Amino acid sequence: MTAAVPGTLWQPASACGDRCRAGGTRRGDPLTTLVRLWSLVVVLAIGLPLAALARGTALRTLARAILAALGVRAVWRGPAPRPGSLLVANHVSWLDAIALAAAQPVRMVAKHDVRAWPGIGGTAARAGTIFIDRTRPRALPETVAEVADALRAGHSVTLFPEGTTYCGAEHGRFRAALFQAAIDAGAPVVPISVGYDSTEAAFVGADTLGGSVLRIARTRRITLTLVAAPALRPAPGADRRALARAAQSSLAGGGYHLAA
């Protein structure tokens, strides 16, 4: 049985904006940008319907194709999580979720706004995304129960506990509520550090999805590094706040850094 989660409003806010961008980024040539954008359109037109129908492998293939179309190189370091793990990561960009979906078979926890994104929202819902509405705190226990059920069924679930995106130079604290799902399900928690070698990937402030896609496509090169820490195994009745703090302290400096 899921423990009660306090009905506090959970709407974290980030102070990151355009001022957080490092500047001096090397741009690709206009032809490369055009090819990337056109490639992305083709990938989405073909891949979204297939991923919605087939899920699983098709979804991972679509995620990898999106990264390739935009010229983003993704690198995974560390052990592969076992199925039925709660993957918790710092949050910099919408690319974080794409990269994790490309690397591991996972179900995502996403804010309910994503459901309204053209094309992507419907596919995300059909692919098993668990949506959280932070404007309705009374619905939070239901979300915790849904995540716990997915973990018990052997599905890994990815969560961004900061609750919003940060540029990488700044971070938010991990919110503890959904860690209760791992405790209830007896599931391991795997901290994942998300790092970029360019702040151009950061999706912050007044960014729109279209503007972010264009900025990424114009950037000559972006390397995205995912670093998995050893799994944390919560004991029955563990304190979710202590678990959230332990997970965040396990991150290997995710955010903005120079990729190795």
* CATH code assigned at 200: 3.40.1130
- Spatial contact of 248 and 175, defined as CB atoms under 8 Å apart: no
- Residue 9: what pLDDT? 43
E-only strand ranges, 66-221: 72-77, 86-89, 106-111, 130-132, 156-159, 189-196
Question: 222-228 and 189-196: which strand pairing?
Answer: antiparallel
* Residue 51 within any structural domain of the chain: yes
Q: Look at the alpha carbons of 169, 172, 178, 180 in this order and tell me if their dihedral is positive or negative.
A: positive
* Residue 196 within any structural domain of the chain: yes
- Residue 213: what pLDDT? 94
Half-sphere exposure (Cβ direction) of 186: Cα atoms closer than 13 Å: 4
* Residue 7 within any structural domain of the chain: no
pTM: 0.86
- Residue 242: what pLDDT? 96
Residue-wise pLDDT tens for the chain (260 aa)?
333 344 334 566 666 666 666 665 677 789 999 999 999 999 998 888 777 665 667 888 999 999 999 999 999 999 999 999 999 999 999 999 999 999 998 998 988 777 776 666 777 777 788 888 877 778 888 999 999 999 999 999 999 999 888 776 677 889 999 999 999 999 999 999 999 988 889 888 788 889 999 999 999 999 999 999 999 999 999 999 999 999 999 986 655 443 33
- Residue 102: what pLDDT? 93
- Residue 15: what pLDDT? 61
| Main-chain phi, psi angles of 172, to 5 degrees | -105, 165
For residue 163, give its domain range: 25-256
* Residue 166 within any structural domain of the chain: yes
Distance, C-alpha 169 to centroid of its chain: 18
Question: 106-111 and 156-159: which strand pairing?
Answer: parallel
* Residue 17 within any structural domain of the chain: no
Number of domains observed in the structure of the chain? 1
- Residue 258: what pLDDT? 39
* Residue 4 within any structural domain of the chain: no
54 CB-near residues (< 8 Å, 6+ apart): none
- Spatial contact of 175 and 6, defined as CB atoms under 8 Å apart: no
* Residue 222 within any structural domain of the chain: yes
